[in-house]
């Protein structure tokens, strides 16, 4: 049996994985046209979004250690259709956004040198790639 301190990130990771899988499945099965309704003055614009970490990946890991939170690293690119599907479905889900508050979420734009360097270091083979690390910086899953 896992100690309680090791079980919490695992349970959180499991819940996050199930949520991502369910949202991707829902998006794949949705055959309705994705045509947005015209905006009106009366409509409120949602400002809820993932609070991506602003700073270096090293700083994100330092904050994760300080706050005892896992790190969620996401590699994506604007030219990548699956990345855009995730961005337009999963990353806009209020449930997913709420779950990311339990992590230090880091977005790496695959077209930047910073992302390429980290991709080589961590063996990223394609887009999109999501990796979760424990607060100590050890990979939990991808």
Pairing of strands 129-133, 139-141: antiparallel
Q: Domain holding 64: CATH number?
A: 3.40.30.10
Q: Which residues contact 1 (CB under 8 A, 6 or more apart)?
A: none
81 belongs to a structural domain: yes
- Domain total of the chain: 1
Does the global pTM surpass 0.75? no
Q: What is the pLDDT of residues 96-139, one digit of tens each?
A: 999 999 999 999 999 999 999 999 999 999 999 999 999 999 99
Q: What is the pLDDT of residues 62-99, one digit of tens each?
A: 999 999 999 999 999 999 999 999 999 999 999 999 99
102 belongs to a structural domain: yes
- Output the six-digit token pair for 46: 């949602």
Domain that holds residue 129: 50-142
Q: What is the pLDDT of residue 48?
A: 84
């Amino acid at each position: 049996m896992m100690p309680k301190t090791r079980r919490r990130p695992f349970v959180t990771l499991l819940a996050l994985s199930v949520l991502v899988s369910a949202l991707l499945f829902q998006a794949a099965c949705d055959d309705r046209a994705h045509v947005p309704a015209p905006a009106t003055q009366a409509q409120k614009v949602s400002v809820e979004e993932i609070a991506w970490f602003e700073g270096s990946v090293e700083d994100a890991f330092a904050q994760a250690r300080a706050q005892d939170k896992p790190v969620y690293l996401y590699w994506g690119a604007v030219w990548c259709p699956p990345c855009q599907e995730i961005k337009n479905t999963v990353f806009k889900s209020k449930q997913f956004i709420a779950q990311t508050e339990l992590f230090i979420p880091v977005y790496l734009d695959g077209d930047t040198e910073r992302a390429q360097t980290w991709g080589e270091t961590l063996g990223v083979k394609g887009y999109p790639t999501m990796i979760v690390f424990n607060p100590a910086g050890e990979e939990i899953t991808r």
